Amino acid sequence: MKYTKLSILALATAGLFSACSKLDQNPQSSLNEGDAVNEGNARILANGMYERMQTLEYYGRDFMIVSDLGGNDMKITSQNSNRFITEFQLNYTPLLAPQTNTFLNAYRVVNQANVLIDKMPETEKTSTIRGEAYFLRALANFDLARRYTRPYTNVAAKINEPNTGITLVTKAVDAPANYKPGRSTLAETYAAIISDLKVAQQTAPAGKSEDRNANVFNATKDAATALLSRAYLYKGDWQLAIDEADKLIGKYSLYEASEVAKAFNLDAAGSEEIFSLRFLTPDGAGSNNFGYMYVPAKLGGYGDIRLTDGFMELLDPKDVRNELVQNLDGSNYLMKFSGNEATGQVGLVNVKILRISEVLLNRAEAYAELGNLQKATDDVNMLRAKRGLDPFTDVANIKAEIIKQRRLELVGEGLGMSDLFRKNGQRNIRDANALSTRVTEASDFRVAFPIPQAEMDANPNMVQNQGYSN
């Protein structure tokens, strides 16, 4: 099957469902609604969204890794397997942008969600599945925004200017070959994400607050609330970020200090998880498993991606998060994703997308930005106590402590580049053994990835990000 006449966006909207689905029979045409989009197939179609998110170029590996390599906490040295070097060195161009399939698969999630939202008959069974679709559409759009636009609060962001946001696809597309959409503003992009999450809050399955056995491997109302807290934080809507975080803090327990070392490699969901993607033994991709890039070669992985000296300097000797680091031959490796022992595969883990510790730090940051430094400090100390640390008492410097704790707590979870540049920080990897990479200011055009050249060539209505030649 050839798609050379279709743009990436058109291909993403061509009715493609997960390969394991029996519905993936006529990918170039719109779905046969009578045969496919019905109540009996609702769960199959919904599962297709989650499977699409598990692909190698999305949450299966690449999205999280690239999102962290653009920050200050990870490096690639001369000892590497030739993966992710372009991204680490920030040398990507529209033609040399290895993340084309991330763009494609995120929009495929959006399309699959659109089909469920637009074409699924409304019944008691399908109403909550439609709520899942609203959440996953919002998450995919948020991920696209984090990759292909400037952060909302970035010093060079122009939120209301044309073509500063992503392409918002809000309807199932029946004629993909003719589909050539343009881009929204950044303000419109965030408004759409927030609108979808508000719908998901009302219609998705119950979260942990209502059902103590809620399945964190599917979207829930609580997952929508957690992502809303992130969206409002990234927008700088501080009080709204606090309001959403308040709904979850106290309902989900922080890991105890004794749990941290193993928490990320367990088969079952842990106490902090609000939304995670489940990776079972059949989902294993061998040397392409997510954690394989982090585990050192002596322990069975590639060991390409190592922790920077700057990150290691943040760790207090008392911090139990030291147990997530392995020092071998003078290099520090992140062992957070070494592998779920139940699968017996190096680097195969459940991918945690939303955790209560992030929500707590969201609230702390929002409190600090509103000037309520004591409440911000109290939140940070809730986390520090569970990580083996003494209380933080320098209230006047709590903002710097929040940034530090976000780096320590969320390292490897795909937030490094977003956190750095939304706070207008500087990327500067000074390690002597790291591959050379440019010092990058928050105003640099490379803060946003280029739209893939294949999309530019096939879609005359697509506008490239500033700084990249078409």
What CATH number is attached to the domain comprising 112?
1.25.40.390
Look over the chain and give the mean of its residue pLDDT values, rounded to a whole number: 92
Alpha helices in 58-185 (DSSP H): 62-69, 85-88, 100-119, 124-148
| β-bridge mates for residue 305, sequence order | 76
110 in a structural domain: yes
136 neighbors 202 (Cβ within 8 angstroms): no
Alpha-carbon gap, residue 133 to 114, rounded angstroms:
7
Confidence of residue 5 (pLDDT cuts 50, 70, 90): low
pLDDT at residue 469 is higher than 80: no
| β-bridge mates for residue 354, sequence order | 275
274 in a structural domain: no
What are 126's two structure tokens?
A: 């399908």
User: What is the amino acid identity at position 73?
Assistant: D
Confidence of residue 6 (pLDDT cuts 50, 70, 90): confident
Alpha-carbon gap, residue 450 to 467, rounded angstroms:
9
Between 36 and 399, where is the model more confident? 399
The pLDDT, as a whole number, for residue 29 is 36
pLDDT at residue 19 is higher than 80: no
156 neighbors 111 (Cβ within 8 angstroms): no
User: What is the amino acid identity at position 328?
Assistant: L
197 in a structural domain: yes
The pLDDT, as a whole number, for residue 98 is 59
User: What is the amino acid identity at position 357?
Assistant: S
Residue range(s) defining the domain that contains residue 117: 1-204+442-456
Q: Are strands 325-328 and 331-334 parallel, antiparallel or unpaired?
A: antiparallel
Three-class secondary structure of residue 141 per DSSP? helix
pTM, whole model, 2 decimals? 0.94
189 neighbors 141 (Cβ within 8 angstroms): yes
pLDDT digits (tens, 9 = 90+) for 267-288: 999 999 999 999 999 999 999 9
pLDDT digits (tens, 9 = 90+) for 322-346: 999 999 999 999 999 999 988 999 9
Short-list 406, 362, 449, CA closest to 106: 449
Q: Are strands 305-307 and 273-277 parallel, antiparallel or unpaired?
A: unpaired
Confidence of residue 366 (pLDDT cuts 50, 70, 90): very high
pLDDT at residue 440 is higher than 70: yes
Residue spans of beta strands (DSSP E) within 35-78: 74-76
Of the candidate ranges 24-28, 71-75, 438-442, the one whose mean pLDDT is the lowest: 24-28
pLDDT digits (tens, 9 = 90+) for 35-94: 678 888 889 999 999 999 999 999 999 999 999 999 999 999 999 999 999 999 999 888
59 in a structural domain: yes
What are 220's two structure tokens?
A: 């829930």
Three-class secondary structure of residue 196 per DSSP? helix
Q: Are strands 331-334 and 351-355 parallel, antiparallel or unpaired?
A: unpaired
94 in a structural domain: yes
147 in a structural domain: yes
Alpha-carbon gap, residue 171 to 168, rounded angstroms:
9
Q: Which residues 6+ apart lie within 8 Å of 47 measured at CB?
A: 18, 21
Of the candidate ranges 24-33, 250-259, 344-353, 398-407, the one whose mean pLDDT is the lowest: 24-33
The pLDDT, as a whole number, for residue 212 is 56
Tell me, what DSSP letter sits at residue 351?
E
The pLDDT, as a whole number, for residue 304 is 96
Q: What's the Rg (C-alpha) of the chain?
A: 21
Domain count, the chain: 1
Three-class secondary structure of residue 192 per DSSP? helix
What are 186's two structure tokens?
A: 């950044």
pLDDT digits (tens, 9 = 90+) for 199-221: 999 999 997 756 555 689 999 99
98 in a structural domain: yes
**C-alpha distance from residue 65 to each of 163, 227, 264, 292, 427 (Å):** 26, 20, 16, 11, 16
pLDDT digits (tens, 9 = 90+) for 369-389: 999 999 999 999 999 999 999
Between 13 and 416, where is the model more confident? 416
**C-alpha distance from residue 147 to each of 50, 309, 382 (Å):** 20, 26, 31
pLDDT at residue 2 is higher than 80: no
311 in a structural domain: no
Name residue, tokens 């599945």: 129
